[in-house]
Chain A
Amino acid sequence: MMRIESYKELWTVIRSNKLSLTGFIMLIIIVFIAVFANYIAPYDPYQRFYPPFQPPSPQHLLGTDDVGHDIFSQLIYGTRISLFIGFLSAVIGTLIGLLIGLFSGFFGGAVDNILMRFTDMWLSLPTLLFTIFLVAILLRSSQYPMIYGIILAIALTSWPSVARLVRSAVLSIRERAYIEAVKALGASSTRIMFRHILPNVTSILVAEVVYRTSYAMLTEASLSFLGLGDPTTISWGMMLYYAMVRYAVVLGYWWWFIPPGIMISISVLSVMLVGMALEEYFNPRLRSRY
C-alpha cells in the first residue's frame, strides 16, 4: 500500500492549505467524540429528566427536549450514528460504483453502452427523493426504518458518479502497454480487471469514499429529519425532526434546534475538506486550482 514518503507528502498537502488542515483537525476531534461518546456525554441519552423543555443550565448544558432527554448528551451520541451510516453507505456505494465502472470501462462496446445509460438514468434522478422512496419501501415490511435499510438505500443512490469516475480511469488504463502484455501472456479478463487495473484506480476510490461519506452524512440527516430515521438510535437529523414537529422554532427553543445543525454542518464540512485534500494529493494537477 502507501509508503512512508507518501504519508509525508499527504501531510504536506494537508498542511499547505489552511482549510484542509482545519478539516483534518476537526475530523480527528469528531472521530474522538464518536469513539469516546460514553465518556464525554454527562448523561445517558435515554435518561429522562423532569421537567421537559428546560433551557440551558449548568446541569443540562443545552437544556432538555420534549420528553426530558439531555440535549447535550444526545448531541454527543449522535456523532456515532452520523459517522457510521455515512461511512458504511459510502463504502458500499463506492463498491457498487467500482464494479459497474470496472466492467463498463474494461469491456466497452455494448456492455459499456448499456451500463452507462443505466448509470445516467440513476444519476439524473433526485437522489434524496429516491432514497426516501427506497426507505419507504423497506418500511412497508418492518415497523420502523432500520439502520441497515437506511444504509442500503443511501448506497443504492450514491454509486452512479463513482461508476462514471472509475470508468473514465479504466478507459485510459486499459490502453497502456502493460495491460496488453498481460493479455498476451494469457491472463483472464477477471484477473486483468481485479489484479492489474483495480490497484490503479484505488487512489480515486480513497478520495471518493471520503467525499461520498460527506454526502451520505447529509442524506442521512435529511432522511432522519423527514422522519425516516431509525428510532432506536439517536441522530442529529432526528433531533431536528422532533424539534420541528414539537414547534421548537416557533417557541424559540434555540438550544434544541441550533446545536444539531451546527454538528451536522461541522462534521460534513470536515469530511468534505479532507476529501478535497485527498483529491488534491492524488491528482496533483488540481493543486494549481487553489
Chain B
Amino acid sequence: MKKYVFQRIIFSIITFFFIITLVFFLARATGDPLAELENDPRISPETIQKIRAMFGLDKPLYIQYIDFITNMMLKGEFGYSIIYKRPVMEVINERFPYTLALLIPAITLSNYLAYKIGIEIAWRRRSKIGSAILTFSIIISAVPYFWLALLFLYIFSVRLGWTPIFGAVSPGMSFSWSWEWFADYLYHYALPFTVLVFRSVFSYVLYVRNTAVDILGEDYVNVAMAMGLSPEKVKYDYVAKNALLPIVTVLGLRYAFLIDGAILTETVFSYPGTGRLVFEAIYGRDFWLLQGATVILALSVIIVNLVIDFLYMFLDPRVRYR
C-alpha cells in the first residue's frame, strides 16, 4: 500500500513537471516574445536589449527554463496580465474559488445522479422508459455545453426572468459573511450550476449504463439470480456495487471534462470564475493570463486525480492489500 501511495505521488509530480515543461517549450517554441518590438522603429535596439536583460531573455534556454519553474513554484509568479494590469496570480486567486464552488458540487451531484439513472436504465434496458432515457442522454451528449447554456439563459433569464443574466453576485454587492450575500450568490449560482449538472449527467449516463449492462451479463449475476436472491438484492449488491469501481476510475477524466464545461458555461453566464478568465484572455489576447489559468486548472486536475487514487485504494481491496 505504501508503494502504491508513493507511486501515485511520484506520478502526480511528474505530470506536473510535464505540464510546466510543455507549457514552457510551447510558449517559447513559437518564437521570440519580443519579435513585435523589433519591428517597431520607435524602439531602439538598446532598449530591446535592456528589456531582454530585464526579463532574463538573454540567458540560455535551460536557465530560462529553471527560472520559469522557480518563479512559478516558489514565488507563484505567472507574469503580468495585460488586460487586468495586475499580476496573473492575483487575478486567478480571486477567480478560482468561484470555479471550484461550481465544479465540486457539480461533479458530486452529477455523478450521483448519473450513477442512479444509469443503473436503473441498465436494469430496465428492455423497457420503454429505459430506452427513452438512453436516447435522450445520447442526444444531450451531442449538444454543446455553450449552446445549452445560451438556451437556458434565453429561457430562464431573458424570457421567464427567474434568474439573473450575468455575474456571480449583483453589481455593487461586495463579499461579506452574511445571509444577504449568500442568497444573492445562490440566486446567480443556480443557472450555471444547473447547466453544468444537466449536461454532464446525461453525457455520463451512457457510460454508467453500459458498464452496468456488461456486469449484468457476468456469470456471478446469473448465479445470484439462479440462487433465488431478490432482484433488489442483485441490483444493489451485485450490479451497483461492482459498477462503482469502473466509475471511480473515470472520475478524474470527469473532472477534467467538467473544467471544459465550466469554461464554456462561465463564458455564457459571464460568471467570474477561472473558466470565464480563459475566454477573457483569448478575447484580450492576454497570453500570460491564459497560460496562468491553464497551469492552475491543470494543477487542480492533478490534485483531484491524486485524491481519486487514494479513494480508489479504500474502495478496491485488491489495491489496498497489494
A residues with a Cβ closer than 8 A to B are 19, 117-118, 121, 123-130, 132-134, 136-141, 214, 218, 221-222, 225-228, 237, 240, 243-244, 249-250, 252, 254, 257-258, 260-261, 264-266, 268-269, 272-273, 276, 288-290
Q: Is the CB of A261 within 8 A of B144?
A: yes
Residues of A within 8 A of B287 (CB): 136, 140
C-alpha spacing A66/B206, complex, angstroms: 39
Residues of B within 8 A of A133 (CB): 23, 26, 290-291, 294
Given contacts A126-B259, A126-B301, A133-B26, contact A228 B217 (CB under 8 A): no
List 14 interface pairs A-B (beta carbons < 8 Å), by A numbering: A121-B14, A124-B253, A127-B260, A129-B278, A137-B26, A141-B31, A221-B146, A222-B144, A225-B267, A226-B278, A228-B282, A237-B144, A254-B154, A265-B139
- Return the chain A residue nearest B267 by Cβ: A226
Q: Is the CB of B298 within 8 A of A132?
A: no
Q: Is the CB of B301 within 8 A of A125?
A: yes
Residues of B within 8 A of A123 (CB): 253
Residues of B within 8 A of A264 (CB): 143-144, 147
- The proximity string for B residues 150-189 relative to A, scoring 1 for CB distances below 8 Å and 0 otherwise, is 1101100011000001000000000000000000000000
Interface of B is mostly: helix
| Chain B, 1-50, CB within 8 A of any chain A CB | 11, 14-15, 18-19, 23, 26-27, 29-31
A-B contact number at CB 8 A: 148
C-alpha spacing A244/B158, complex, angstroms: 13
CB distance from A211 to the nearest CB of B (A): 12
- Return the chain A residue nearest B31 by Cβ: A141
CB distance from A140 to the nearest CB of B (A): 5
B residues with a Cβ closer than 8 A to A are 11, 14-15, 18-19, 23, 26-27, 29-31, 125, 135, 138-139, 141-147, 150-151, 153-154, 158-159, 165, 210, 213-214, 217, 252-253, 256-257, 259-260, 263-264, 267-268, 278-279, 281-283, 285, 287, 290-291, 294, 297-298, 301-302, 305
Residues of A within 8 A of B139 (CB): 265, 269
Interface of A is mostly: helix
Given contacts A125-B19, A261-B147, contact A289 B260 (CB under 8 A): no
Pick the contact of A126 from B14, B158, B214, B256 — CB < 8 Å?
A: B256
Q: Is the CB of B259 within 8 A of A240?
A: no
CB distance from A285 to the nearest CB of B (A): 9
Residues of B within 8 A of A138 (CB): 30
C-alpha spacing A112/B257, complex, angstroms: 26
C-alpha spacing A227/B146, complex, angstroms: 13
Q: Is the CB of A136 within 8 A of B290?
A: yes
CB distance from A90 to the nearest CB of B (A): 15
